[in-house]
Amino acid sequence: MPTPPSTQDAIGLLAKLIAFDTTSAKSNLDLIAFVREYLDGHGIASTLVPDGDGKKACLFATIGEGDGGVGLSGHSDCVPVTGQSWTSDPFTLTERGGKLYGRGTCDMKGFIACVLASVPLFKAAPLTEPIHILISYDEEVGCVGVRPMIARLEQDLPRPRVVIVGEPSGMQVIDGHKCIDVFRTTVTGKEAHSSMPAIGVNAISAASKLVEEIDRMAAEVASTENDPHFDPPYSTVMVAMVDGGTAPNIVPRNCDVLWQLRGLPGTKAKDAPARLEDFAEKTLLPGMRAVAPDASIDTKTETAVPAFSAGPDSEAVSLAMMLTGANRPPACPMPRRPGSSRTRAVRRSCAGPASIEQAHAADEFVALSQIEACLAFLTKLTERMSA
């Protein structure tokens, strides 16, 4: 068997990946160019799948020959650091106490670094079927970027038999996830001078009542659902952003409430938008329209990613459990990409370094021990796929 990848190689690659600020609002092309050059240096061709305006791209590469194979999938984008208090530069990899700090170390450049560090091993091994590398963009804003690449799997890119997604799971095998539905509720009231609020309709005040109703729905769902296969064991409903108003001396005419549902498969909480609409129609709008007949409250779906369950006979789950030595896979609260994939004949599971508890927070980190565990996982995968 060829030499396994080294931890130092993975750390060096992770430092390069962290240095690229791939916050979802920005381009990922510099990171993709780096990965493409790295693969080219190992004699591995790659295919780019750009977005509509050419500012972002997915990358797909294949090592080995034959049909099927195993795909190793990760997303290149990360969440913003705005407003967070970091103790080190979030875009400079910093090692302290056996932990590697930096934006994206946990979610999920740590996994990508391990995959890239394993490329020489993949290439030197006598693979009986190929290993595919899939790197996407805009996962953090609704699994947007992976969809064009999934479409290409139906056309001109080789379709993996199994896909392992390296989202942070502490190298545990994940066989299911909740849905994630993101909604934007727009409240339209009526502007007026702040000295005469009674002749206006305050959109922020109305939105605050909607926020309270969403919180009531969240508490109700938490008290009525219990599926111990998930953590937390119930669907969650949460307000994420509120944006409204023009100036302190103007009764605000507009306010947007961005909120989300992360629901168990088959949850009754899927009716949350309809319930909020009913609350608005019966409780808020009559009073608002008595002052401003054109007042409105409208909810639109921004993102919808279906819940997923691999099923008891999933080949992907069986493979990942064999490689990790797990007995039973837990499910998880967030979508694990390439979720939203309905590609025929592709089965997926998740196993990646770090914990979701470290993701999206200040001083995000991945433990060195998790990098080592991920490299061991990829080495076992290579052995399993070799003659």
The mean pLDDT of the chain is: 90
Quote the CA–CA distance of 288 and 190 in Å, as a whole number. Answer: 9
Over the stretch 28-83, which tens digit does the pLDDT of each residue have?
A: 999 999 999 999 999 999 999 999 899 999 999 999 999 999 999 999 999 999 99
Whether the CB-CB separation of 116 and 108 falls below 8 Å is answered with no
| Residue of 21, 107, 139, 175 marked catalytic | 139
Domains in the chain with CATH codes = 7-176+307-384 (3.40.630.10), 179-305 (3.30.70.360)
Q: Between residues 265 and 350, which one has the greater pLDDT?
A: 265
Does the active-site annotation cover 139?
yes
4 SS3 class: coil
Whole-prediction pTM:
0.72
| Per-residue confidence (pLDDT) for residue 287, from 0 to 100 | 98
- Residue 304: which pLDDT band, with cuts at 50, 70 and 90? confident
| Per-residue confidence (pLDDT) for residue 345, from 0 to 100 | 43
- Residue 338: which pLDDT band, with cuts at 50, 70 and 90? very low
The CA-atom distances, in angstroms, between 293 and each of 186, 244, 282, 286, 313 are: 16, 20, 15, 9, 57
Checking if the pLDDT of 220 tops 60, the result is yes
> By percentage, how much of the chain surpasses pLDDT 90?
72
| Per-residue confidence (pLDDT) for residue 196, from 0 to 100 | 96
| Per-residue confidence (pLDDT) for residue 326, from 0 to 100 | 61
Checking if the pLDDT of 201 tops 90, the result is yes
Does the active-site annotation cover 315?
no
Over the stretch 143-152, which tens digit does the pLDDT of each residue have?
A: 777 888 988 9
| Residue of 77, 107, 167, 363 marked catalytic | 77
| Per-residue confidence (pLDDT) for residue 311, from 0 to 100 | 60
